[in-house]
Amino acid sequence: MTFPRTGETVVDAVSRVSSLIDQQAIADIMVQPGLIKFADSAPRHLADLFAAGHTSMKVLMMFPGFDQRGMDFLNLIRSAGEAGAMTLIHCEDHPIVTDTTDALMAAGRTSARYWAESRPVLAEVVAVQRAVALCEHTGAPIYVVHLSSARGLDACREARARGLPVYVETRPTYLHMTEDLYAGADPGLYIASPPLRTAQDVEAMWRGLTDGDIDTLGSDHSALMRDEKNQPDLTLKTLRPGFSNLEVMYPMLHSEGVVGGRISLERFVALSSTLPARLFGLFPTKGTIAVGSDADLALWNPTQRRRVRAADLHSRCDWSPYEGREVIGWPQITIRRGEIVSDSGQITAQPGSGLLLKRGRTQPLQ
């Protein structure tokens, strides 16, 4: 994901990250342009990026800029759809979150322990409903990022039943943890946006993955260090969301999904490969095993048992929210465009050998 820094346009941000990919990448990588604040030049620049093969954008309802420039964002979503691009939307309603947070702060309930209360399910539901309305009004496809709640999923399910192009992602956070962690010894470590939810919401996310109402699993990987998350002076307005998820995301999906009997092996492959490739304009170059497609393969040992240890992972992060969990099923060999790039946990690819991917139009899943 690329968000413009001060003084940058969305094109500048993509160029900055593209240079790093050229120098450092060992995987083939797509760039996801994003906007927190609307700039008057954004429509023209995003049109250029869509034409150059960066065929999606991300916007966030959780910041005040979305409401302040609501008409502009509506037109941007419409233009994206007309260009064959998809809009990713972070669905948390800014007014509800702000009002709830201010009330908690005024009552002296300022710590991470109250994070789930500060960002209630209602804030997600209202934002999802609004995103669906924008989809219906413009006809443009939308992708709800990291959905967390049963009620939010119900709103997406209802929209899809009416034939709207609404696609849904959840993330490992909402499959493997609950809000009970906010009452524990280190609540600051488990700050996510949206927050962790109830056990009933966790089960709803698994049902969504099983029955096809959720299309993808996104890591939302953020390698914040333990001290960065746990600084004692942080409040509800300054807490730092994010987990290190990337390396264990699919092993845990396999372990608790396939081995746990929640999803089939075929569904595991669809969630991890085919469906995201179609949604993000990479199919059939990616996401399938076929003549003419890239030879991207993960050779999986479905019975290997390992315990998650941050010290064993490749992230710079010095902790893992899944520390100590036994996980069944790990990739043994990863092949990228016919070349072995990882073997038994050892990286064999050279920095800069990964490609910056140019994408086509979002493709329907059926």
Fold type of domain 10-347: TIM Barrel (3.20.20)
Contact between 86 and 30 (Cβ < 8 Å) = no
What Å distances lie between residue 61 and 96, 102, 129, 205, 244, CA to CA?
11, 18, 12, 22, 23
* 202 has a pLDDT exceeding 70: yes
The residue ranges of every structural domain in the chain are 10-347
What Å distances lie between residue 89 and 129, 146, 222, 360, CA to CA?
12, 9, 18, 20
pLDDT on residue 219 = 94
DSSP 37-87: S--TTHHHHHHHHHHTT--EEEEETTSHHHHHTHHHHHHHHHHHHHTT-EE
Q: pLDDT band at residue 65, thresholds of 50, 70 and 90?
A: very high
Task: Please write the tens of the pLDDT for every residue from 146-158.
Answer: 999 999 999 999 9
Q: pLDDT band at residue 364, thresholds of 50, 70 and 90?
A: confident
Q: Is the peptide bond before 284 cis (omega within 30 degrees of 0)?
A: yes
pLDDT on residue 98 = 98
Tokens of 169: 């992602």
Q: pLDDT band at residue 365, thresholds of 50, 70 and 90?
A: confident
Which residue reads 């502009």 in tokens? Answer: 72
As a whole number, the mean pLDDT across the chain is 96
Task: Please write the tens of the pLDDT for every residue from 106-163.
Answer: 999 999 999 999 999 999 999 999 999 999 999 999 999 999 999 999 999 999 999 9
Q: pLDDT band at residue 343, thresholds of 50, 70 and 90?
A: very high
**Cβ contacts of residue 181 below 8 Å, gap of 6+?**
187, 189, 190, 196
Task: Please write the tens of the pLDDT for every residue from 20-51.
Answer: 999 999 999 999 999 999 999 999 999 999 99
Residue 146 DSSP code: S
Task: Please write the tens of the pLDDT for every residue from 77-87.
Answer: 999 999 999 99
Q: pLDDT band at residue 366, thresholds of 50, 70 and 90?
A: low
Pick from 18, 88, 89: nearest CA to 52: 18
Question: Can you tell me the distance from the alpha carbon of 94 to that of 242, in angstroms, rounded to the nearest whole number?
Answer: 19
Mean pLDDT of 281-288: 97
Task: Please write the tens of the pLDDT for every residue from 306-334.
Answer: 999 999 999 999 999 999 999 999 999 99
